[in-house]
Amino acid sequence: MKRIKTLKTRNLCESAKKGGCGECQTSCQSACKTSCGVANQKCENVAK
């Protein structure tokens, strides 16, 4: 596309199919302790 560049991202709609195993780190645990940011968590789903 001439005027639009799209970055590679995980498709969130697709992620609904196999997601939700709950193995990933709890959001606030360990680093910041004062806010909720989920986007920097790593997915740890072994079946993904």
Which residues contact ligand SF4 by CB under 6 A?
A: 19-24, 27-28, 34-36, 43-45
How far apart are alpha carbons 35 and 13 in whole angstroms?
Answer: 25
Minimum gap (Å) between residue 7 Cβ and ligand SF4: 19
Q: Is 47 in the site for other proteins (CB under 8 A)?
A: no
Selection from ligand SF4, other proteins, none that 37 binds (CB < 5 to 8 A by kind) is: other proteins
Residue 45 burial (CB count, 10 A): 13
For 41, residues 6+ apart whose C-beta sits below 8 A from its C-beta are 24, 25, 27
Q: Which of residues 5-34 bind other proteins (CB under 8 A)?
A: 5-13, 15-16, 18-20, 22-34
Token representation of residue 37: 């940011």
